Chain A
Amino acid sequence: MSEVLKQEPRKLPYVAAITEAVSQVLQEQENAFLIGEDVAQAGGVFGSYRGLLNEFGERRVIDTPISEKGILGLGVGASATGCRPILDIMFMDFMGECMDEIANQMAKMRYMFGGSATLPVTVLTMAGAGLSMAAQHSQNLESWLAHLPGLKVVMPSNAYDVKGLIIAAARDDNPVFVILNKASLAMQAEVPEEAYEVPIGKASIIREGSNYTIVALSRMVNEAMTAAKQLGELGLDVEVIDVRSVQPFDTETVINSVMKTHRALVVHEAVRFGGFGGEIVAQIQELAFDYLDAPVARVGAPFSPVPFSPALEKVYVPDANSIVAEVRKTLEI
């Protein structure tokens, strides 16, 4: 009977992909440990680390005080002396508490020391709006990190990439920030059971198209896919690129796409002004100017803190409709 039952590919929600990735990293690396606020007893405030304390014990899954400087500093010192720590910063917004440890210590130690220090440390953190968590629990601050030489920064949009990028981050000998998205936690995707890597620094073309490119970060990839369908009705054949890695950034994939399609829009959930999208647009105009048939458009959040009320937040966060509207405005269609 089993011969006729074809095995369904296994699907996992985004949150379970986090758990599985960390679990497999702890299995394969004896000097790895997970440390952060409420990661052990509580299993993480989003359930990302549920069961890991039981599986690996309190030596390797460690609750901390609410002390982000302490956590990041511990990660710097421990990684420089033979450990491979996985740090959790519960909400990305809390990076303000430990920005010195990130920007002046973790990012720069190797360079300042002439290459003698190696910091194999992974930082997992949760970003994103859409859950009415208001201004201090909803931000996307990837541009803070992407601006710092010495760090790598990835933003998985789906469960498959979550697992592969966390494992790649943990196997990397550099500090890598994995910026997760809290509004995507229930989203399912096919996720292989074995450990695998998604290469850091590689974007992914998740929809091929011929005459328009949308370059999207994190959850905006899903909105871009919806927008692509709607734009199809307007005669556009849209290619969608999931950036996945903002540092290093996969310039080649984006430029090749724009050279083919001649038009592009960049979308992220972060505030548009000064956001990472500006870097992408600048690179496109530097490297593909002669191929462009229209201005490169940008979609991002307006220049305000993330509002609390669902009525305001809905307007604030970019979505498929705002992408479509921007494309139509730019192309005058």
Chain B
Amino acid sequence: MAKQPGNKILQNLYLQMVRIRRFEEEAGRLMEEGKIPGALHLYVGQEAIASGVMQHLSANDQITSTHRGHGHLIAKGGEFNRMFAEIFGRATGYCKGKGGSMHISNMELGMLGANGIVGAGLPIAVGAAFSNKFRKTNNVTVAFFGDGASNEGSFHEAANMATLYKLPCIFVCENNGYGEYTPQANHQAVVDVADKAAGYGMPGVVVDGMDVMAVYEVAGEAIKRARKGAGPTLVECKTYRYFDHVGVRGMGLTYRTDEELEKWKKRDAIQSFEKNLTEMGLLTEKKISNIYGKINAELESAIKFAEDSPYPDPSELLEDVYCEA
């Protein structure tokens, strides 16, 4: 049985979830207002996963992310300033405005990119894990992917190679029930993506992705196992995205029911954890209000930073295609 985490960890698990949610709500609002170019795939509803997993990682551990990558970067230590600047397409963004939401990344934080190609992060994560083992570091790599990505060939090749080479790689499936707009039952015959793990000789674990403590514990075991050289684990987190595949609309969608959304929202990860921490005496209404106040102020200043930041100079267009060193 895993050791009960200390208060600081519990508070941080909560804080990261709230930071992600508030960032995404603001990003969605700004997208609706037409201030953000392109498309945003928002993480609202799935916060417990990024928060629970990343609690075990340092900046020297790597992750690969998905379309829905803001939450992963925030939990990995991403700053609101540079994140908003990036999704606003400004020169001060993490990718100097060349990547945007779908390619947001930070190599120094070990965040090897959100990815516009479904499933593409998986083989890259295997490469980073291979590198960790080859260079004899003690670092691990976590590949985040969705239920939809588990149908891609890249999932198969990555899972096989990671187990074959016993790499320090953890596969975290965020099963939000939909591959873009297609319900899981219409895109694969299995119910649990974790069942696929057996085909590669790796453990597969299903966990409630709306329960941050459950994610924290299961991910902790998997990461510990990977760090000691015992190979990868597939952790499937059952979760739900409150908004549409793209954008902020949540209700009245053609491919899912409002009742379904309401049912999942009743199990909201932030609300239930907030309740638990309050019962434990770790949170009070005042503390919660302070946390939100602080995050909101940080968001406001980050959005201002992004809006005040210059767009990339046209002379930047052909920079960074190659390494000129």
Chain A residues engaging chain B, CB cutoff 8 angstroms = 31, 33, 59, 64-65, 67-70, 72-83, 85, 100-101, 104-105, 109-119, 149-150, 152, 173-174
User: Would you give the 0/1 interface string for B73-106, flagging 1 where the beta carbon is closer than 8 Å to chain A?
Assistant: 0000000000000000000011111110001011
Is the CB–CB distance between A105 and B117 below 8 Å? yes
Residues of A within 8 A of B107 (CB): 80, 113, 116-117
Is the CB–CB distance between B157 and A100 below 8 Å? no
Residues of A within 8 A of B93 (CB): 114
Is the CB–CB distance between B164 and A65 below 8 Å? yes
Is the CB–CB distance between B130 and A77 below 8 Å? yes
Is the CB–CB distance between A116 and B161 below 8 Å? no
Count the B residues whose beta carbon is within 8 Å of the partner chain — how many? 47
Residues of A within 8 A of B115 (CB): 105
Residues of A within 8 A of B108 (CB): 116
Considering only CB atoms, which chain A residue lies closest to B159 in the complex?
A: A70
Q: Assess whether B113 is interfacial by the CB under 8 Å rule.
A: yes
Q: A77-B128, A78-B128 are in contact. List 13 more A-B contacts (CB 8 A).
A: A67-B161, A68-B157, A70-B158, A70-B161, A73-B120, A81-B128, A100-B117, A104-B116, A110-B321, A113-B98, A114-B95, A114-B96, A116-B108
CB-CB under 8 A for A77 and B123, given A113-B95, A114-B93, A173-B323: yes
Q: B37 to chain A: closest CB distance in Å?
A: 15
A-B contact pairs, 8 of them (CB 8 A): A31-B135, A65-B157, A76-B127, A77-B129, A81-B131, A112-B113, A114-B96, A173-B323
Is the CB–CB distance between A73 and B135 below 8 Å? no
Is the CB–CB distance between A112 and B131 below 8 Å? no
CB-CB under 8 A for A80 and B123, given A67-B157, A73-B157, A114-B97: no
Is the CB–CB distance between B154 and A73 below 8 Å? yes
CB-CB under 8 A for A105 and B323, given A77-B127, A117-B105: no
Residues of A within 8 A of B103 (CB): 112-113
Bound CA span A220–B306, Å: 54
Bound CA span A150–B319, Å: 11
Bound CA span A104–B64, Å: 15
Bound CA span A163–B274, Å: 63
Bound CA span A78–B75, Å: 23
Residues of B within 8 A of A114 (CB): 93-99, 320
